């Protein structure tokens, strides 16, 4: 039994129930606050607001801990695959071999797109941002699956939507790239792994099969595992919020793509490369760049640094950093941007501004270098994040519905004009 909390205002004291999570996080339940006191809480950016209870992912930002369904990200990164981790996130337990086989077969079977979707891809300009294509096409899937536009979140119909989205997001991503480079769409190859098939659909040519290098395939799979869920971040909260109106899963995840696109969220992985290239090609001294990032009169930020939740280190960044060297070696690539990134990290980690604000490299700091080495174009980086995050978004959407969540509808403190009289235009 937890102790209750009290809020005192204007001479009145109100008792509020608390709840303690399985890792001893304490939440003060304010669901009755307005009804009982007329007051609301004010928390722009939701830094102190728990929007839900969740069994899916646990983060301790002070200690740099990330766990999916109780399993540490370090162990999953080392021993699991993206498909197995996706099953875990969606179902709450590691799959038996037969469960995994069924799950993978279901996803593999759904990799194709309706032929008429080719004309949708053809309709986008060659320089269309792939995140815009991805969001549009996820919504477009709804046009081809009208019988599945429900809020069922258990059973065969739901499993089918899950397979469709997790599989087709990869095909849509690869084909949006091919649209941009003017190449014919490459059909999926069901014999390949999830990540291998993605590489094939991205890079195989009709006359020349892409040779999948095991280190590269493993790195893509690892990238997807590390991005598979991250509790109530901006895009996941968006998916939950859209779904809370009982919107279907296709449109909910399409909205998640929009939220992820921004440079403060998933778009940071592309922004990091832009920053490193800017430093490299313009010969900017690292100390000057760091000074600009510290200057409050300057919009420059050290992209790939800082996190709302992680205040010691981002465990995903630590894991990725270790793999970047391995992949570069397997591909025999010497990337000057990696050297700049490593130096920049050291400069920032020894700078009082970053130390005092607990700003450390986040997952996006090294992921761009990894993706760039593999040949993924910069404007596809955030799309890669979206592919990986799909199990997390779907699992959160499902959990929200299984909890019969009320429609999300925050309140505000109004600070505008009081009632005033309308003046006819001739008198203004
Ligand atoms: N460069 C310079 N200063 C920074 C940075 C940065 N990257 N990040 C935070 N700060 C400063 C910020 O200006 C503020 O300073 P002060 O206290 O003097 O006003 C202080 O640190 C606290 O930052 P905040 O903006 O209040 O933190 P937040 O929790 O609102 O924002 C963040 C978190 C990730 C949006 C922010 O750190 C940022 O913009 N980082 C760069 C973009 C980035 O790498 N985003 C990827 C996040 S990880 C992937 C994902 O899960 O989305």
Digitized pLDDT (tens) for each residue of the chain, 428 residues in all:
568 999 999 999 999 999 999 999 999 999 999 999 999 999 999 999 999 999 999 999 999 999 999 999 999 999 999 999 999 999 999 999 999 999 999 999 999 999 999 999 999 998 999 999 999 999 999 999 999 999 999 999 999 999 999 999 999 999 999 988 989 999 999 999 999 999 999 999 989 999 999 999 999 999 999 999 999 999 999 999 999 999 999 999 999 999 999 999 999 999 999 999 999 999 999 999 999 999 999 999 999 999 999 998 899 999 999 899 889 999 999 999 999 999 999 999 999 999 999 999 999 999 999 999 999 999 999 999 999 999 999 999 999 999 999 999 999 999 999 999 999 999 99
Positions marked active-site: 307, 364
Atom of ligand 1 nearest to the CA of 233: 51
* 307 CB near ligand 1 (under 6 Å): yes
Cα(238) to centroid(ligand 1), Å: 20
Q: Alpha-carbon distance 259 to 238, whole Å? A: 7
* 230 CB near ligand 1 (under 6 Å): yes
Nearest CA, atom 49, ligand 1 = 265
77-116 CB burial, b ≥16 within 10 A, e <16? beebbbbbbbbbbbeeeebeeeeeeebbebbbebbebeee
* Beta carbons of 27 and 50 less than 8 angstroms apart: yes
Supply the DSSP symbol for 56.
Answer: S
* 40 CB near ligand 1 (under 6 Å): no
CA angle in degrees (0–180, nearest 5) for 287-288-293: 95
* 357 CB near ligand 1 (under 6 Å): yes
Residues written for the chain: 428
Residue 226: is it exposed, middle or buried by C-beta count within 10 angstroms (0-12/13-18/19+)? buried
Structure tokens at 357: 């604000």
Q: Give the SS3 label for residue 355.
A: helix
Residue 245 vs residues 5, 73, 105, 193: alpha-carbon distances, Å: 31, 32, 32, 36
Q: For 268-374, CATH number? A: 1.10.230.10
CATH number for 91-261+378-402 (one of 1.10.238.10, 3.10.20.30, 1.10.580.10, 3.30.450.40): it is: 1.10.580.10
Atom of ligand 1 nearest to the CA of 305: 7
In the chain, where the domains are located: 91-261+378-402, 268-374
Cα(68) to centroid(ligand 1), Å: 24
Residue 14: is it exposed, middle or buried by C-beta count within 10 angstroms (0-12/13-18/19+)? middle
Nearest CA, atom 19, ligand 1 = 296
Residue 414: is it exposed, middle or buried by C-beta count within 10 angstroms (0-12/13-18/19+)? exposed
Nearest CA, atom 14, ligand 1 = 357
């Amino acid at each position: 039994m937890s102790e209750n909390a009290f809020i005192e205002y204007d001479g009145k004291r109100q008792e509020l129930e608390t709840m303690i999570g399985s890792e001893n996080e304490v939440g003060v339940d304010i669901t009755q606050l307005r009804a009982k006191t007329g007051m609301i809480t004010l928390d722009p950016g939701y830094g102190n607001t728990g929007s839900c209870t969740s069994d899916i992912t646990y983060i301790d930002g002070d200690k740099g801990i990330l766990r999916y369904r109780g399993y540490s990200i370090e162990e999953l990164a080392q021993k699991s695959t993206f498909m197995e981790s996706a099953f875990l996130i969606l179902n709450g337990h590691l799959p038996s071999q037969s469960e995994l086989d069924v799950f993978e077969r279901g996803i593999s079977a759904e990799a194709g797109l309706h032929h008429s979707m080719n004309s949708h891809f053809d309709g986008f300009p060659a320089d269309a941002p792939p995140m815009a294509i991805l969001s549009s096409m996820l919504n477009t899937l709804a046009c081809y699956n009208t019988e599945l536009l429900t809020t069922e979140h258990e059973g065969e119909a739901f499993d089918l939507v899950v397979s469709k989205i997790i599989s087709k997001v990869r095909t849509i991503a690869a084909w949006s790239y091919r649209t941009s480079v003017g190449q014919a769409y490459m059909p999926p190859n069901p014999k390949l792994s999830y990540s291998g098939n993605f590489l094939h659909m991205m890079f195989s040519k009709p006359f020349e099969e892409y040779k999948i290098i095991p280190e590269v395939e493993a790195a893509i799979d690892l990238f997807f595992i590390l991005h598979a869920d991250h509790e109530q971040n901006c895009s996941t909260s968006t998916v939950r919020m859209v779904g809370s109106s009982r919107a279907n899963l296709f449109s909910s995840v399409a909205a998640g793509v929009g939220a992820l696109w921004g440079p403060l969220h998933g778009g940071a992985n592309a922004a990091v490369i832009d920053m490193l290239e800017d430093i490299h090609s313009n010969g900017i001294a690292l100390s000057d760049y760091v000074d600009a990032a510290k200057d409050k009169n300057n919009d420059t930020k050290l992209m790939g640094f800082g996190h709302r939740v992680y205040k010691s280190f981002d465990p995903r960044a630590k894991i990725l950093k270790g793999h970047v060297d391995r992949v570069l070696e397997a591909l025999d690539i010497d990337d000057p941007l990696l050297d700049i990134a490593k130096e920049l990290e050291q400069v920032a980690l020894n700078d009082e501004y970053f130390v005092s604000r607990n700003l450390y490299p986040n997952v996006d700091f090294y992921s761009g270098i990894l993706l760039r080495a593999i040949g993924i174009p910069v404007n596809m980086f955030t799309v890669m994040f979206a592919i990986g995050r799909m199990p997390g978004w779907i699992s959160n959407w499902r959990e929200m519905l299984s909890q019969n969540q009320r429609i999300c509808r925050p309140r505000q403190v109004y600070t505008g004009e009081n009632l005033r009289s309308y003046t006819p235009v001739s008198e203004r």
